[in-house]
Chain A
């Protein structure tokens, strides 16, 4: 059984579909429970798996993880991991952003996920064989003027997952983090981007294939690794003029 947080649409839904197609039972988590319920029904009807939908608002100051944690307890050894492709952006994520929006962006893109992972690890045995998979963005490769808070939150998420990987060395926990380039989801739908958008289904298949591999941080599509390295090396006198 896997938990997928952010399963209502886009990357999360694609991951749910691939895992279901491979016979995995699922707990699908999102604040959009109508959508996760529809995803759950669809996957049960198509693949004969067991799928449950759980409503959770990551933006809440005290998100209620009880239903998720109960599902982990019930699954016992069948619980194999959690994937967290959840995330959100807002158009006004600039110097003019409202402070309430900063709070919500950090909660959804980082803090609530860190809390959930922490609670989950407390419930699982040291010898439990599980995978924890986080998802970030190439927006966090280097600080820039647009999507500032989103980028900062995703940078924190990535750092947390890297630290988690180190912290879990003595456990049978595989920790992975995917840095995503432009993806063909609603998050990037309305934006003209200079490079092709990655297909959620292709990402999902790679995630499933590598779910038990100790790959650490990985880029999708893979060429973003090179682009990220180049972006980091651009000297400030040039970088400050780039608008992206």
Chain B
């Protein structure tokens, strides 16, 4: 027992005197994890994108060829799919940003402690149920004879046919990722000192002026942090397009999935998968400019 304590004390003292060694010990395991699994996977992806596949035997042919990229550039469908994916991801992000504001503001500024706990639970509880169950639920809501049309006809409105369409994807994605926007936004709004709002009022700004000139700029990093989640989660998804999409609803992920699982053309899939990597790199650089990383 005594021996052990001495050993621990010596280790602790060593760590205190050599800060670098202590940090290295703490960062080592996650660092190895990051390098071995994450960076190695991306490296393998980038290398495979230049390989080809033998038509007959299906074997991978290592090498350095731009044939996959040439194919991607020559057929307009891959541009259409990329633009569709990025456009819907942007629309979902905007929608969630708009929807999250009143909720986040009411939760941290207006609600009492009890109501606040209830609102927080409302945001988090859907995350406890399966993603697939929630997407399937939406499929039933939006279907031809679903709850939506049933409700519309009950109040005398004509049916809408948005099941299995890009509209359906937009609604379902916006629903799925809303909590990921609300949480960082609420945290950012909460961090604004109430004294600033009072100062704004004292200086003659009304509610809207205070919101536009004080709250919005100060909460912007939180909103951009949320946008990183909503944008990247939509950009990489292929299950929601598969389940609630209709015709002309494929995402980049669906093309990758089909080339890996159906045609066994992994190099082509890898070449296409480099595109979202680039898009996210640009997005993250912009987000950093807007201070999102300080708000995470």
Partners in one complex: no
- Chain B positions within 8 Å of A, measured between CB atoms, are none
